[in-house]
């Protein structure tokens, strides 16, 4: 690719807070990141209008993000690709073609994550024209560290949001923490920003004694991590006193896809998936299905109150998971809610389903607490017998 002296503006899809890491890596390389407007109904409508009807929701949102970015002045649009059994492998070529057909002049560039560090270096060389490997390693390192920092803040947010005294305080603190992370320019500043961010969230007034429910959120990774496409489910659940743990995070994905083994501690998500998904699913069938099946067993192992599975309409691997869940539900006695998201999903009906699910988990928890009380007469009789 030819590089002129003008600073190029590079855009990327939103997918929740992943833009923070893209921004960090590109800025470190001296490239100007272009952050498209956060995904909105307009983004979705732009994407839907220019997509095949049956394609999955993330494709439509990514395309919408790109159209808005190009119209806003981005010179390059870049996205992560990977080979795979599902449609993800086709996303890139299709999007590139559609943008051309629509007459947009911006360049399209892919980052192949499954090529590990080599793929990232290759991406940065193509984008910057630079051969400064020290700078590139630093950019990748900071980008990855940012992903981990944001995920840590996210999980801290979930703990506090379920217990906060004033609704919305934890999220305000979280947003301030993200601002601090975005201002960091090197590893030292990033660590400091994370520390300050965690402290901002922990200063929020909470009721530590509150009896909260614990839910694992699993499903297709884009929908799990993107508030727009999952209709900010974690906020809704937090307001109902539910602490949500994302089973699929960008950091867990990076651990499996690119971080070398010597830098990893303990079992990764994918390793656990191969261990726990059997006998329900014996091999990887694409997308995140294997991880989702194993997440049910992992939730059961930790005695979690329930599991929510979110997936885009027509997502092939997740249709398979949803067909396995009924049998798992019987075997593990765990409340599982499956939600399919698309551009038609209405907020009210979906919140009602969440409320009903929370009620179900509460009743189940209460029953088991009564059953396990030491002065329970049934227990006493059982002990005597
Ligand atoms: S995992 Fe599902 S939503 Fe994601 S690209 Fe594949 S088919 Fe589409």
Query: Which of 47-51, 102-106, 258-262, 327-331 shows the lowest mean pLDDT across its residues?
Result: 258-262
3 state DSSP class of 87: coil
pLDDT beyond 80 at 161: yes
Residues 106, 253 within the same domain:
no
Note the pLDDT of residue 380: 53
Please state, rounded to an integer, the average pLDDT across all residues of the chain: 91
Tell me, yes or no, whether 261 lies in a domain. Answer: yes
Phi-psi domain of 45 (left: phi exceeds 0; alpha: psi -120 through 50; beta: other): alpha
Tell me, yes or no, whether 65 lies in a domain. Answer: yes
Residues 196, 219 within the same domain:
no
Residues 88, 180 within the same domain:
no
Name the band, by pLDDT with cuts 50, 70 and 90, for residue 382: very low
118: CATH: 3.40.50
Tell me, yes or no, whether 381 lies in a domain. Answer: yes
Residues 65, 92 within the same domain:
yes
Are the beta carbons of 361 and 337 closer than 8 angstroms? no
Query: Which of 92-96, 109-113, 178-182, 273-277 shows the lowest mean pLDDT across its residues?
Result: 109-113
Note the pLDDT of residue 384: 45
Cα–Cα distance, 83 to 66 (Å, whole number): 21
pLDDT beyond 70 at 378: no
pLDDT, tens digit, 9 for 90 and up, residues 190-224: 999 999 999 999 999 999 999 999 999 999 999 99
Alpha helices (runs of H) in the chain, residue ranges in sequence order: 18-28, 41-49, 57-72, 88-101, 116-128, 133-161, 169-183, 187-202, 221-225, 233-239, 250-257, 269-276, 289-301, 316-332, 347-372, 377-384
Tell me, yes or no, whether 346 lies in a domain. Answer: yes
pLDDT, tens digit, 9 for 90 and up, residues 68-121: 999 999 999 998 887 767 777 788 889 999 999 999 989 999 888 778 888 889
Note the pLDDT of residue 287: 87
Note the pLDDT of residue 379: 53
Residues 378, 246 within the same domain:
yes
Range of the domain at 181: 147-161+163-209
List of residues 6+ apart from 180 with CB closer than 8 A: 193, 196, 197, 200
Determine the distance separating the centroid of ligand 1 and the alpha carbon of 74, expressed in angstroms: 26
Residues 318, 383 within the same domain:
yes
pLDDT beyond 70 at 128: yes
Tell me, yes or no, whether 172 lies in a domain. Answer: yes
Residues 229, 186 within the same domain:
no
pLDDT beyond 80 at 62: yes
Residues 253, 376 within the same domain:
yes
Are the beta carbons of 99 and 108 closer than 8 angstroms? yes
312 in contact with ligand 1, CB cutoff 6 A: yes
Name the band, by pLDDT with cuts 50, 70 and 90, for residue 2: very low
Most distant CA atoms of the chain, gap in Å: 85
Residue ID of nearest Cα to ligand 1 atom 3: 315
Residues 327, 377 within the same domain:
yes
Residues 232, 370 within the same domain:
yes
- What's the total number of domains in the chain? 3
317 in contact with ligand 1, CB cutoff 6 A: yes
Summarize the confidence of residues 284-299 as an average pLDDT: 94
pLDDT beyond 70 at 329: yes
86 in contact with ligand 1, CB cutoff 6 A: yes
Residues 205, 217 within the same domain:
no
Residue ID of nearest Cα to ligand 1 atom 5: 88
Tell me, yes or no, whether 139 lies in a domain. Answer: no
Determine the distance separating the centroid of ligand 1 and the alpha carbon of 21, expressed in angstroms: 22
Tell me, yes or no, whether 266 lies in a domain. Answer: yes
257: CATH: 3.40.50.11900
Q: Which ligand 1 atom sits closest to the C-alpha of 316?
A: 7
Place of tokens 């980052």: 111
Tell me, yes or no, whether 137 lies in a domain. Answer: no
Summarize the confidence of residues 303-316 as an average pLDDT: 94
Note the pLDDT of residue 267: 92
Tokens representing 20?
A: 């923070």
pLDDT beyond 60 at 5: no
pLDDT, tens digit, 9 for 90 and up, residues 235-271: 999 999 999 999 999 999 888 888 877 888 889 999 9
Percent of the chain with pLDDT over 90: 73
Determine the distance separating the centroid of ligand 1 and the alpha carbon of 82, expressed in angstroms: 11
Residues 269, 364 within the same domain:
yes
Global pTM value: 0.91
């Amino acid at each position: 690719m030819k590089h002129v002296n003008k600073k190029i503006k590079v855009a990327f899809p939103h997918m929740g807070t992943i833009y923070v890491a893209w921004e960090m890596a590109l800025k470190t390389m001296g490239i100007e990141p272009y952050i498209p407007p956060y995904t909105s109904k307009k983004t979705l409508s732009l994407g839907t209008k220019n997509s095949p009807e049956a394609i999955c929701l993330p494709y439509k949102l990514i395309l919408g993000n790109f159209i808005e970015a190009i119209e806003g002045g981005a010179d390059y649009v870049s996205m992560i690709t990977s080979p795979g059994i599902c449609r993800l492998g086709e996303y890139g070529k299709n999007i590139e073609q559609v943008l051309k057909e629509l007459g947009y002049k911006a360049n399209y560039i892919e980052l192949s994550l499954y090529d590990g560090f080599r793929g990232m270096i290759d991406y940065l060389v193509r984008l910057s024209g630079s051969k400064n490997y020290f700078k590139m390693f630093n950019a990748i390192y900071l980008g990855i560290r940012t992903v981990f920092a944001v995920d840590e803040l996210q999980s801290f947010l979930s703990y506090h949001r379920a217990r906060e005294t004033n609704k919305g305080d934890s999220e305000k603190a979280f947003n301030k923490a993200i601002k601090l992370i975005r201002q960091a320019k090197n590893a030292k500043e990033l660590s400091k920003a994370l520390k300050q961010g965690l402290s901002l969230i922990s200063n929020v007034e909470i009721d530590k004694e509150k009896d909260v429910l614990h839910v694992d959120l699993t499903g297709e990774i884009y929908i799990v991590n993107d508030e727009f496409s999952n209709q900010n489910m974690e906020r809704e659940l937090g307001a109902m006193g539910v602490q949500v743990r994302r089973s699929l995070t960008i950091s867990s994905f990076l651990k499996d896809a690119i971080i070398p083994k010597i830098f990893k501690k303990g079992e990764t998500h994918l390793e656990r998936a191969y261990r726990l998904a059997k006998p329900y699913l014996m091999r990887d069938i694409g997308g995140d299905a294997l991880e989702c099946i194993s997440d049910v067993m992992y939730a059961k192992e930790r005695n979690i109150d329930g599991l929510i599975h979110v997936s885009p309409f027509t997502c092939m691997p997740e249709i398979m998971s949803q067909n396995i869940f009924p049998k798992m539900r019987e075997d593990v006695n765990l409340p599982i809610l499956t939600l399919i998201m698309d551009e038609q999903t209405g907020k009210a009906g979906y919140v009602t389903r969440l409320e009903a699910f929370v009620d179900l988990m509460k009743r189940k928890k209460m029953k088991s607490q009564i059953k396990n009380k030491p002065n329970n007469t049934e227990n006493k009789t059982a002990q005597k017998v």
